[in-house]
Chain A
Amino acid sequence: MRRIAALVLAGLLLALLPPAHAQTTFSGKTVTIIVGYAAGGGYDRMARMIARYLPKYLPGNPTVIVQNMPGANSLIAANHVYGVARPDGLTLAAFNRNLALGQLVKVEGVRFDMSKFAWIGSPSNETTILAIRSDLPYRTFDELKRAREALIIGATGPGANTYDFPLLLKAFLGANLRIVSGYPSSADIMLAIERKELDGRAGSYSSIKPFIDRGLVRAVIRARASVPEIEKLPVDEELTSDPRAKAVMALRSTPEVIGRPYVAPPGTPAEFIQAHREAFSKVTKDAEFLAEARRAGFDIEFVSGEEALRITNRVLNAPADVVRVFAQFFKFE
């Protein structure tokens, strides 16, 4: 009897002891997610959604708020989180997925090292596609390549996937494209397609999807990162045998696998990073969150912090000759 009582008591004590990894608690604290863009954009909307679900999964159920720190394509936010924010586990940052490329081509104003951030992960990837007007006679990329007259593709400007992606298709795959860049936003490009000023555009799949669904444009080619619906489209880098062209196209699309990067300041204690990583992983499996994300037009595909860091390092260690060619095409904007 006494043995059983002792066992029960020991069991109770064990149950009362907090699990090992939950020793860090955020109870009564406020976690701030710094977003490198103004309110209302994709990065911001994603952060605000996550901010509502994180408290449920972080030990101690802290308050989570979003703070916008827009400017210079989120360089300001990245510099702040790298150099100024305290590494106490209470600050996270969500910023431009192309920052690693910016660091690689040595953009002015970069005061951080992407490989030294404490990576939490990315809740989704972003796929770039090229879409052309459905009333054009070309149904596939092959047909498009044989087009006698150049297709007019609208773009915002260098450094945006609306520009870089078709530029590489033209340079390395011989697609007959004429790129008209300088539209104020991708929405303006869409309207120009509607009035037949343009034949098509490149951009992230999630933003073009509504227009594919209503039959205005059709997707013909995609970059490496993917979602199931467009898995079958040809992939840009697979259509060439030139290894350097392959490498340059791969370099451009690698950061898209980490579509919405989340990091903490360098030097954040490991137990806090662990807590955030676990919370993110659980949020991105939460049924309610997934339903909400689907309605907001996001495909959730969690990329872990370890994986995100590995991908970032792969970008930063690209061979010098590939970087040289890439730098001719890429401007950080």
Chain B
Amino acid sequence: MLDALASGLFQVLQWQTLSYMLIGIFVGFWVGLLPGIGGGTTLALMLAFIYRMAPVQAFAFLLGMHSVTATTGDITSILFGIPGEGSAAATVLDGHAMAKKGEAGRALGAALMSSLVGAIIGAAALALAIPVVRPLVLTFGSPELFMMAVVGIASISSLTGRGSRAMLRGFLAGGLGLLFAMVGQDPQAGILRYHFGQLYLWDGLKLVPVLVGFFAIPEIVDLAVRRTAIAGNVPVGRLTHGVVEGIKDTFRHRWLVLRCSLIGTWIGILPGLGGAVAQWMAYAHAVQGARTAEDRERFGKGDVRGVLGPGAANNSKEGGDLIPTVAFGVPGSSAMAILLGGFLILGLAPGPDMLTKHLAITYSMVWTIVVANIITVGASLAFLNHLAKLTTIRGPLLIPFLILLTFVGAYTASNSMGDVIVALIFGGLGYLMVRFGWPRAPLVLGLVLGNIVESYLWVSTARYGAAWLTRPGVLVLIALACLMVAWPFFQERRIRARAR
């Protein structure tokens, strides 16, 4: 096994492989940065180039691209409040709030360093999981997948403010998110729901236009109203020193980063949940770590922990995502489904063989994730300070550019005007929610989990009747979900007790 690990590294470091990876990284850098064009679509376009490559080269090329999109996606989220990728939306909440306080550099440093740590932990998990990967994935049946999604929904209780009123608003927003997930053809009988006669809505609401509108438009309105730069009137000198501070933050909160990386990896391993879920659960986990009421209040207003958590999770899920793809030939996400096409082109059959005969290739993927992220973060650090200066450009000059980025980003989801309309509608909704103090995160979590909850509840019941409720894994997850809902109450009581 160590032989394969070493041979995987050497193969990745050969100059030819490395240069393919550099091309991939260059592409991925821009794909991540620009909202809309997702890593999955880009993978599909890149497949055409791998026919003449050796497997290790091809995966360096493809994974090199894909594993950096989540890293650079955070940059757009922080600087402009526009999610650069579907999986980078959670970074907007605290990351962009930091940028508005003049701490863009620090937020960028924290996001990139936590991404790197997350990527390495995810890759390490992939490497370590290889001997036990099959039982690990197979113990998770449909009932357990359903319960995992319920745990995700339960984490809403941490994503809301304090007090019963705030909690109620949080769960109402989450419920609204679940309702939005019902739009389109239902998965069991093909019945059309809430489609208003529009073909566009048959497939349901697309995540990217929703997220881009929901987060970016309120920020653009805010910027227009304030008539200043994003960073307000913070002197430029302060901005450029933040990056090192952000890197230090990553290690100051190393346990948080580690835990969020593991959350991301685990969600990556489970098929179907994906990066859009991982970041929010990591964010919720970061919030749960707050010790005092004042500490809790800092989240959403520019707390670096709100950047570190999602930053780590959305990169560590890459390693986790690969596990079902490599070990079973069953992709854990749409991007991995496309990567699977790459396996076939290269004449590799994903499945048990990848863990024995082709182990070196599998390890080369692990190394690709690590090396690609090191290169990206290293290269980015060189000009992050300059990027941070973008937040000092006057609002009126920046706004046209932001609007363009927002709507082009939304439009690329399915090249339809419907995307733009959805972005506008959710932009309006997002603005109202911000204005009247409703939390946005629960709504997004409801939306991304809605379909999973619905499908797996149905499948579990159709397959096992009511018996699935008594499976041990399900019982553990039910307990976990209850604990997550109750946690803020415990927390509050503890805080009060300490105050006395």
Residues on A facing B (Cβ under 8 Å): 38-40, 44-45, 48-49, 52, 67-73, 75-76, 79, 108-109, 152, 156-159, 180-185, 187-188, 190-192, 194-195, 197-198, 210-211, 213-214, 292, 295-297, 331-333
| Complex contact A295–B51 (CB within 8 A) | yes
CB distance from A59 to the nearest CB of B (A): 24
Q: Report the Cα distance A210→B346, complex, angstroms.
A: 14
Asked if A187 meets B330 with Cβ closer than 8 Å, knowing A71-B414, A333-B190, the reply is yes
- A184 proximity list for chain B (CB < 8 A): 187, 272, 451-452, 455
Closest Cβ of chain B to A177, distance in Å, is 13
**A72 to B462 alpha-carbon distance, docked (Å):** 26
Is there contact, CB below 8 Å, between B345 and A182?
Answer: no
Assess A292 versus B329: contact at CB under 8 Å? Given A40-B40, A40-B43, A331-B189.
no
What residues of A have a CB within 8 angstroms of the CB of B272 in the complex?
184, 188
A152–B330 touching, CB < 8 Å: no
Which residues of B from 346 to 363 have beta carbons under 8 Å from A? 346-347, 349-353
| CB of B177 within 8 Å of the partner chain | no
The distance from the CB of B206 to the nearest CB of chain A, in whole angstroms, is 9
Given contacts A184-B455, A188-B272, A195-B138, 19 further A-B contacts (CB under 8 A): A39-B40, A39-B44, A40-B47, A71-B416, A75-B202, A76-B199, A158-B189, A159-B190, A182-B455, A184-B187, A187-B337, A191-B330, A192-B142, A194-B330, A210-B344, A210-B350, A213-B349, A296-B341, A331-B189
Determine whether the beta carbon of B200 is less than 8 Å from that of A292: no
Number of interface residues of B (CB under 8 A): 54
- B190–A214 touching, CB < 8 Å: no
Interface residue? B295 (CB, 8 A): no
C-alpha spacing A205/B45, complex, angstroms: 25
Assess whether A331 is in contact with B190, with CB atoms less than 8 Å apart: yes
Judge if B463 is at the interface, Cβ distance under 8 Å: yes
Cα(A152)–Cα(B459), bound, Å: 12
Chain B residues numbered 167-216 whose CB sits less than 8 Å from any CB in chain A: 185, 187-190, 192, 199-200, 202-203
5 nearest CB pairs, A to B: A39-B44, A40-B44, A40-B338, A72-B202, A331-B190
Q: How far is the CB of B410 from chain A (nearest CB, A)?
A: 15
Q: 11 A–B contact pairs at CB < 8 A?
A: A68-B415, A71-B416, A108-B192, A157-B189, A180-B462, A184-B272, A188-B272, A190-B328, A195-B139, A210-B344, A296-B344
- Residues of chain B from 310 to 339 with CB closer than 8 A to chain A in the complex: 324, 328-331, 334, 337-338
Task: Return the chain B residue nearest A51 by Cβ.
Answer: B48
Question: Is the CB of B399 closer than 8 A to any CB of chain A?
Answer: no
> How many angstroms from the CA of A86 to the CA of B429 in the assembled complex?
38
